[in-house]
Chain A
Amino acid sequence: MSVKAFKLALAAVGGLALSSPVVMAQGQNEQFIPLLSYRTGAYAVNGIPWANGVSDYFNLLNERDGGINGVKIAFEECETGYATDKGVECYERLKGKGATGAAFFNPLSTGITFALTEKTLADKIPIITMGYGRADSKNGAVFAWNFPFLGTYWSAADIAMQHVAKEMGGEDKLKGKKIALVFHDSPYGKEPIPTLQVLAKKYGFTLMELPVTHPGVEQKSTWLQIRQNRPDYVLLWGWGVMNGTSVKEAAAVAYPRDKVIGVWWSGAEPDVLPAGDQAIGYKALTLGQSGAGEFAVHAALKQHVYAKNKGIAKDDFAQVLYNRGMINAMLGVEGIRKAMTRYGNKPLTGEQIRWGLENLDLPAERIKELGFEGMLTPVKITCNDHEGARSARVQQWDGKQWKMISDMYTARQEYTEPLVKEISSKYAEEKKITARDCSKPE
């Protein structure tokens, strides 16, 4: 073929591709979902399994069901490195992508969530922050676009203290005790403090606040303070390398590991494996009903994704953060599915999906149908309650795996709700947002 003929052929193929109704139809019948992830940097060890879970679940739906009600999912990862500036860059790059723009964002970073909260409001794109983000965004009347599904840090703090009280023999035993909070010195790590201060006042315990600077590779002075002050319990609010280092430093100062309780972001396999036997006895909250393990959805993944060599997880398959990524993806997808009942089976805008997320109702039967039975409790989102569920259990590392050691706790809204009201109202006042009237149907 001559060069000229080759160029002509190339132009013809290009022209066909541009004008082909199949290509157009395919492009227009896709729901675009951005995936902000971090597979590099200090927090990659936690970011990778989570992103793998999200990605595998989207692939499962495309392979098994042809997408969501026939609408294929198109997703694109953008590397944030857990850095707020990069997260905002990813948001700006991907928000308008796809036939209808981004369905929702899910940055897996409280810092990025804080930065995006006002942007998503202006761009009318929901932001899902399952188990993280701004705790006051539970109030959907003010934070219409934020969805902190399954539990805020205020719920987590209350649940952790419920477990401490139970181990001590009752809430009255908290009086005069000392509880230390070792936290990542970032918006994420600081989130539980208001709730813990409320609980400290209510139950009469002393709260020691011990910040650890990013990334948390050096914590000796923190743990020396713990050795010297001997708190009765330590609550750990870490992420990435900070978690494993905390567990090791606890061992180095001979602080009993079974008196350290991590939040659900401090209770995955990469947080304990580096510490080896030193991590035995360490406890952490689960987000929802379970942490690691295989359930019905994993069998579907093996059949429809991994059998075709399209899965991307390795050792992290069915680990804590992988499963959490899948739950996260499922909740977003079910929000889209709900929105389709109102707007039709086609790619939807962020605004339409926001309605779906706000009316999401997943009873136990539906969770079972989806293959997630045993992984999470029923979820019901309303205008007033963007959290939808606020339950957790406590798991303990036995040196090889996480073992459940408690029944389900539910966060007590009598302690968290006044804070939600107070702080979200302040935010609304500051940003001149008129709270929606949730009694009126939308």
Chain B
Amino acid sequence: MQELGSFLEVLISGLLAGVLYSLVALGFVLIFKASGVFNFAQGAMVLLAGLALVRALDFLTRLGFPGWLAIMLGFVFAALVMALCAFLVQRYVLGPLINQNALTMFMATIGATFVIEGVAQFVFGSEVYPLRLFPTDAWIAAEATFPGGILINKLDVWGGVIAGLLVIALALFFQYTKTGRALRAVADDHAAAQSVGIPIDWIWFVVWLVAGLVALVAAAIWGTKLGVQFSITFLALKALPVLIIGGFTSVPGAIIGGLIVGAGEKVAEVYLGPFIGGGIEYWFAYVLALAVLMVRPQGLYGEKIIERI
């Protein structure tokens, strides 16, 4: 019974950790879905959003603002910073590259990554900034059934709930709003979308803004978990196998991919790791991703791309 309890604990923790990866992956999906650009800068955007939030919170708290007001204003400030970032990226990085091929756009986002990382640390600092927005202790569930119970971290549950709400909101946005439909049209073909009167500049600003806000939510959760610091940019690497598995164009795919990666890597680390020296969870996620690539190159929920020659 204890073995089963331990397995369930690892599995549940993995699933919840996977949802946190999905939060970062969602930002990639949004931009790819709307512009066909793989946004290498998503990890840097999480760092920028986190730094803006935590530094504003520190500043407002020092001025004596009550906690709830400091948090609200902190989020507003960070959202404005992300809006400015979206505007600058659209105006000076992607705008001039409309109708260029995807590889050129991708390279541009690599450049944007280093600029965002550098400017974020230059403006807001490069130390570790503690952020405490959610509880980080744990529940012990099913103690009567399993000796020692099953540990469930409250922060992970918060992450799961928030990710669920985000997915619902984004699904509604893409399906039922005019801007959402325009985003999908732009993703299919920039030039065609422009020719039917879709304001591509505005659409790209909106999508980068939404991705920036998703990055802010991810930063709030991961910042509470790790402290806001440069290492938060490495989350982009955790999101990559999630995207490969779930598909680059599917919001629900990002969640499913996250669940598979989270559960897979944790179970592998705990049950397979000890036999091969441990430390396998980082690359095991990519083993899963490669396996999916071989069977479904577009990912489990990605759109099958058919190009006429």
Q: Which residues of B in the span 81-95 have a Cβ within 8 Å of any Cβ on A?
A: none
Contact across chains for B266 and A221 when beta carbons are under 8 A apart? yes
Question: Is B171 part of the binding interface, using a Cβ–Cβ cutoff of 8 Å?
Answer: no
Contact across chains for A45 and B121 when beta carbons are under 8 A apart? no
Partner of A270, one of B14, B127, B153, B283: B127
Contact across chains for B270 and A218 when beta carbons are under 8 A apart? no
Question: Is A211 part of the binding interface, using a Cβ–Cβ cutoff of 8 Å?
Answer: yes
Question: Is A212 part of the binding interface, using a Cβ–Cβ cutoff of 8 Å?
Answer: yes
B266 CB contacts on chain A under 8 angstroms: 220-221, 224
Question: Is B10 part of the binding interface, using a Cβ–Cβ cutoff of 8 Å?
Answer: yes
Given A224-B151, A273-B130, also A251-B137 (CB < 8 A): yes
Interface centre among A45, A245, A254, A278 (most CB of B within 10 A): A45
Q: Distance (Å) between the CB of A215 and the closest chain B CB?
A: 5
B128 CB contacts on chain A under 8 angstroms: 45, 241, 244, 270, 273-274
Instruction: Find the B residue at minimum CB distance from A189.
Output: B279
B282 CB contacts on chain A under 8 angstroms: 213, 218
Q: Distance (Å) between the CB of A273 and the closest chain B CB?
A: 6
Partner of A45, one of B10, B126, B155: B126
Contact across chains for A224 and B136 when beta carbons are under 8 A apart? no
Instruction: Find the A residue at minimum CB distance from B130.
Output: A274
Instruction: Find the B residue at minimum CB distance from A245.
Output: B226
Contact across chains for B151 and A253 when beta carbons are under 8 A apart? yes
A228 CB contacts on chain B under 8 angstroms: 6, 9, 148
Interface majority SS (helix, strand, loop, mixed), chain A: helix
Instruction: Find the B residue at minimum CB distance from A241.
Output: B231
Instruction: Find the A residue at minimum CB distance from B270.
Output: A221
Q: Distance (Å) between the CB of B191 and the closest chain A CB?
A: 39
Interface flags, B262-300, vs A, CB<8A=1, else 0: 000110011001000111011100000000000000000
Partner of A211, one of B138, B225, B278: B278
Question: Is B212 part of the binding interface, using a Cβ–Cβ cutoff of 8 Å?
Answer: no
B269 CB contacts on chain A under 8 angstroms: 221-222
Question: Is B229 part of the binding interface, using a Cβ–Cβ cutoff of 8 Å?
Answer: yes
Question: Is B13 part of the binding interface, using a Cβ–Cβ cutoff of 8 Å?
Answer: yes
One of A34-42, A325-333, A374-382 at the interface: A34-42
Partner of B153, one of A210, A216, A252, A274: A252
Contact across chains for A274 and B226 when beta carbons are under 8 A apart? yes
CA distance A273 to B277 in the complex (A): 31
Contact across chains for A278 and B231 when beta carbons are under 8 A apart? no
Contact across chains for B279 and A212 when beta carbons are under 8 A apart? yes
Q: Distance (Å) between the CB of A247 and the closest chain B CB?
A: 11
Contact across chains for B229 and A45 when beta carbons are under 8 A apart? yes
Contact across chains for A224 and B9 when beta carbons are under 8 A apart? yes
B13 CB contacts on chain A under 8 angstroms: 220-221, 224
Question: Is A240 part of the binding interface, using a Cβ–Cβ cutoff of 8 Å?
Answer: yes
Instruction: Find the A residue at minimum CB distance from B21.
Output: A218
Interface majority SS (helix, strand, loop, mixed), chain B: helix
A39 CB contacts on chain B under 8 angstroms: 126
Partner of B277, one of A41, A211, A275, A276: A211
Contact across chains for A41 and B230 when beta carbons are under 8 A apart? yes
Task: Classify chain A's interface size.
Answer: 35 or more
CA distance A278 to B278 in the complex (A): 27
Instruction: Find the A residue at minimum CB distance from B222.
Output: A217
A217 CB contacts on chain B under 8 angstroms: 226, 231-232, 234-235, 238
Question: Is B221 part of the binding interface, using a Cβ–Cβ cutoff of 8 Å?
Answer: no
B279 CB contacts on chain A under 8 angstroms: 185, 211-213
Interface centre among A41, A216, A218 (most CB of B within 10 A): A218
Q: Distance (Å) between the CB of B228 and the closest chain A CB?
A: 9
Contact across chains for A244 and B227 when beta carbons are under 8 A apart? yes
Contact across chains for A241 and B17 when beta carbons are under 8 A apart? no
Question: Is B181 part of the binding interface, using a Cβ–Cβ cutoff of 8 Å?
Answer: no
Q: Distance (Å) between the CB of A251 and the closest chain B CB?
A: 7
B153 CB contacts on chain A under 8 angstroms: 252
Given A48-B126, A221-B10, also A40-B230 (CB < 8 A): yes
Instruction: Find the A residue at minimum CB distance from B238.
Output: A218
B137 CB contacts on chain A under 8 angstroms: 251-252
CA distance A44 to B121 in the complex (A): 11
Q: Distance (Å) between the CB of A362 and the closest chain B CB?
A: 33
Partner of B229, one of A218, A251, A274: A274
Q: Which residues of A in the span 253-283 have a Cβ within 8 Å of any Cβ on B?
A: 253-254, 270, 273-276, 278
Question: Is A167 part of the binding interface, using a Cβ–Cβ cutoff of 8 Å?
Answer: no
Contact across chains for A225 and B270 when beta carbons are under 8 A apart? yes
Interface flags, A146-180, vs B, CB<8A=1, else 0: 00000000000000000000000000000000000
Contact across chains for B138 and A253 when beta carbons are under 8 A apart? yes
Contact across chains for B17 and A210 when beta carbons are under 8 A apart? no
7 contacts between A and B (CB under 8 A): A40-B121, A185-B279, A218-B238, A228-B9, A245-B226, A251-B136, A276-B132
Task: List 10 A-B pairs, minimum CB-CB distance, nearest first.
Answer: A274-B227, A211-B279, A221-B269, A241-B231, A213-B282, A185-B279, A211-B278, A42-B231, A221-B266, A274-B130
Residues of B whose CB lies within 8 Å of any CB of A are 6, 9-10, 13-14, 17, 121, 126-130, 132, 136-138, 148, 151, 153, 155, 225-227, 229-232, 234-235, 238, 265-266, 269-270, 273, 277-279, 281-283
Residues of A whose CB lies within 8 Å of any CB of B are 39-42, 44-45, 48, 185, 209-213, 215-218, 220-222, 224-225, 227-228, 240-241, 244-245, 248, 251-254, 270, 273-276, 278, 315
